[in-house]
Structure 1
């Protein structure tokens, strides 16, 4: 039985979804037709901060909050705007974006290098809450 490793799944996801550099993503921050989605865990946000105005949806809840039939649905994930996912490195966001594509959300991308890439590109960030 052939098995896939996590890095294989991430590589496959990166082939399937639009991947933005931190600089490319930073140019979209002020675009009202783009929703940035921080899929890191709450403790990660508390340590490092987040992108100003980003929607926080932990990776474990992403599919449920994107599904309009779910009681935990977040309308921001289905309003027809481009979704740009990011995490701590770009792996979880690639997997999440790929899954959302499988759910029928097609206007989606993720940030290679995750939150650190956005910070390095000069994206407006909110400080960590201590």
Structure 2
């Protein structure tokens, strides 16, 4: 039986580490990298301060040559709008050998609702 997008997201969430907005803020304060995997128009409307941007559809093709992601042990907080794409991206990054990668629960919507720093 074919899987749905929801099935894929749920499977990804079962295989990754998810962290809250407050945990994400603590990690970013401690020199982790924020990775925004939303589309360019979403990123342009607002994003976490100092976030790197690689759209989900380009992640596999762009991450390994991006200068900020050469150390596969540096902690990365991945986010999207609400948590689905970031879960898929986090699972992909793990498959690519990144060892400290976390998906932020609730995505940028939750971050904004908590009134954290944004650009």
Please state whether the residue corresponding to 1:64 is helix, strand or coil. helix
Matched positions, count: 118
1:101 to 94, 102, 106: 94
Cα deviation, 1:24-68, whole Å, max 9, x if unaligned, reads 212222111x10001111111223x1100110111111111223x
Structure 2 gap segments, 5+ residues each: none
Taking the TM superposition and a 5 Å limit, the aligned residue runs for 1:9-24 are: 9-24=8-23
2:35 to 29, 34, 37: 37
Please state whether the residue corresponding to 1:85 is helix, strand or coil. strand
Contact conserved, 1:87 with 1:115, CA < 8 A, in 2?
yes
Q: In the aligned structure 2, how far is the partner of 1:95 from the partner of 1:88?
A: 13
Which is richer in helix?
2
Please state whether the residue corresponding to 1:51 is helix, strand or coil. coil
Structure 1 gap segments, 5+ residues each: 68-72
Cα deviation, 1:59-81, whole Å, max 9, x if unaligned, reads 111111223xxxxx102123231
Query: What's the C-alpha RMSD, in Å, of the aligned pairs?
Result: 1.2
2:59 paired with 1:62? yes
Please state whether the residue corresponding to 2:28 is helix, strand or coil. coil
Q: Give the TM-score of the pair, scaled to structure 2.
A: 0.92
Q: Give the TM-score of the pair, scaled to structure 1.
A: 0.85
